[in-house]
Structure 1
Amino acid sequence: MAFRYYTATTLDGFLADDHDNLDWLLSQPIDEDGPMNYGDFFADVGVAVMGHTTYQWLLDHEVTDGKPWPYEIPSFVFTHRGISPVAESISVVSGSPADHRDRLLDAAGGKDVWIVGGGDLAAQFAEADMLDDIIVSIAPVTLGAGRPLFPRRFDLELQEFDRNKAFLCARYTLAGPRESPAP
């Protein structure tokens, strides 16, 4: 069981553009059965965790035209906003990840906890010492601005890497927080 941030990013470190658009990601070739693929990753996942922006993106792009919520596993949405879950498997929570550690572990049933996004939520998990690794697929695209991959200062250790068609795929563990430079 591990807390894992599995995501994709542009070469310049953005998850989405300023309008939460993912066209850059969806236009890249990838081998669905290739290295570090989603299917193999998801087979070990027991819980999905996300912030409000990721939840809203899923509602706007995946839960449309009568399509159901895409995850049958328990899903936790971290937000301070009052939202109504669209499926019984969704729990809306607020506070720090540490406040919900036991609940997430219980819901995962011995499987991994997937921090779906965004980057700020993943960084909150890291600050709570609840992020075991970051698995990232890096696309050959730059956006110049947008939603950052991981907006905190941390040192990482590369554990493995591979290529999946257009993507450089890498798995990192967290070595620890990085000190801010002196002014």
Structure 2
Amino acid sequence: MTSVVYSTATTLTGQLADEHHSLSWLFAVESEGPDHEAFLAGIGVLVSGSSTYEWVLREEDLLAHPEKWPSYYGARPMVVFTSRELPVPEGADVRFVRGPVADALPSIRALAGERDIWLIGGGDLVGQFDDAGALDRLELTYAPATLPAGMPLLPRRIGPDRLVLRDVQRFGQFAHLSYDVTR
């Protein structure tokens, strides 16, 4: 059965990025991290909001260097929720959708096939998946950093009655927590 998984890094204070949309806090500490290749092997489709997608394009200069795309995401399709026209790196399978998550879910699930759906960000989009009853798991890697402001990890209330801790791992200075999200 296909699961919808939100896998991301966050600060101890629950931000994905600082107030300038920077992730410099994340790259300031060397990390072994969870096995990204093993995680990707179970992913059929990636889903992103437009801000996260634009950050990835900028940070890795993927429009000028589209050959880098496969090293990050492989040949998997990426679905980007946006209301704007955005560029696509040459050779990348990027599909743009507008409207409610619930309306797009059947086609996203079809793209994933038997594999999982990776929500790569942002937090509000992940909240919309939860609102639609489609968020199954949180994979959160906590970095040794705090920020006074920034983009929140998940700007929704999901109480302890809905989160079941699956696993805790240590990767150097980082802590990785896995939760099942129940309905």
Quick check: TM above 0.5?
yes
**Contact 1:85 / 1:92 at 8 angstroms: preserved in 2?**
no
Q: Tell me the amino acid that sits aligned with residue 166 of structure 2.
A: Q
Identity %: 38
C-alpha distance in 2, partners of 1:145/1:173?
27
How much does 1:64 deviate?
A: 5.2
Aligned residues: 173
C-alpha distance in 2, partners of 1:142/1:40?
29
2:150 alignment partner in structure 1 = 146
How much does 1:42 deviate?
A: 1.1
2:14 alignment partner in structure 1 = 13
Q: Tell me the amino acid that sits aligned with residue 66 of structure 1.
A: H
Equivalent residues in 2 for 1:120-139, closer than 5 Å: 120-139=124-143
- Pair 1:112-2:116 in alignment: yes
- Pair 1:58-2:59 in alignment: no
What is the aligned counterpart of 1:49 among 28, 47, 71?
47
**Contact 1:85 / 1:91 at 8 angstroms: preserved in 2?**
no
Q: Secondary structure at the match of 1:113?
A: strand
Q: Tell me the amino acid that sits aligned with residue 168 of structure 1.
A: A
C-alpha distance in 2, partners of 1:12/1:37?
24
Poorly superposed stretches of 4+, deviation over 6 Å? none
**Contact 1:78 / 1:94 at 8 angstroms: preserved in 2?**
yes
Higher helix share: 2
TM-score relative to the length of structure 1: 0.88
What is the aligned counterpart of 2:89 among 62, 86, 107?
86
Unaligned runs of 5+ in 2: none
Q: Tell me the amino acid that sits aligned with residue 134 of structure 1.
A: L
Unaligned runs of 5+ in 1: 177-183
1:77 alignment partner in structure 2 = 80
Deviations 1:67-105 (A, max 9, x none): 333432000000112224334510000112111111111
Which shows bigger deviation, 135-144 or 95-104? Answer: 95-104
**Contact 2:140 / 2:178 at 8 angstroms: preserved in 1?**
yes
TM-score relative to the length of structure 2: 0.88
